[in-house]
Amino acid sequence: MLDIVDENDVIIGQDTRENIHKKGLLHREIHIWFITPKHEIIFQHRTKDKDTYPDLLDATVGGHVDLGLTYDEAALKEMEEETGIKADISDLHLIKKLRRRSEDPVTGKINNTFRPQYAYLFKGKISDLKIEKGKAVGFEAWEIDKLMNLSEAEKKRFIPVNLEDGIAGLFRDCEQLLEKEQASKISP
């Protein structure tokens, strides 16, 4: 069961995940984008049997906000489940909250969400990330500059909504966050 929300992000009811995606009901999710010191965004590669957007690249961490959780609590829970990294909310940086609606052309499911976009500065190796069994097959790092100039074939590897206008700005916002943090460590 998940909360259904109105256009003001106020809870108005509950329904199953299946019905929410079948009917396109507005609900809550989170995304966390891991950015590396090399100005890369790490994407999670979804399994081929996911019920939405199978076998495509998605945010490093993504998930529904379970009943009774805040966006921040859901972000920390999903981050640990999907990467093995236990963090504090102060480690996440809220970049923006997006309102998105998309339809999966493969499954016909509709994802209609409010979705805060968090950035996390990841300084480890991609091989250190724990893959959540049954949800993902691995992780891939893509340079931000490359993400701004993908070929048509490369674009087909990603969930389309993650490449829409505004997402490029989100990646640049993540990059600016990294640069600020690096500069603050150099300054006395």
Q: Tell me the CATH number at 55.
A: 3.90.79.10
C-alpha span between 10 and 137 (Å, rounded): 35
Report the predicted TM-score, pTM, of the whole model to 2 decimal places.
0.90
Around Cβ 137, how many Cβ atoms within 10 Å?
A: 13
Contact predicate 140/42, CB 8 Å: yes
Note down pLDDT in tens along the chain; length 188 residues.
999 999 999 999 999 999 999 999 999 999 999 999 999 999 999 999 988 889 999 999 999 999 999 999 999 999 999 999 999 999 999 999 999 998 988 889 999 999 999 999 999 999 999 999 889 999 999 998 898 888 999 999 998 888 876 666 777 787 788 778 777 766 55
Model confidence pLDDT, tens digit, residues 47-57: 999 888 899 99
Around Cβ 47, how many Cβ atoms within 10 Å?
A: 15
Quote the domain boundaries for residue 11: 2-186
Q: What is the pLDDT of residue 166?
A: 62
* Tokens 């950015």, located at residue: 35
Around Cβ 124, how many Cβ atoms within 10 Å?
A: 11
Here the tokens at position 21 are 């995606």
Those residues with Cβ within 8 angstroms of residue 75's Cβ, 6 or more apart along the chain or in another chain:
30, 32, 61, 89, 92, 116, 118
Number of domains within the chain? 1
Contact predicate 61/42, CB 8 Å: no
Contact predicate 101/112, CB 8 Å: yes
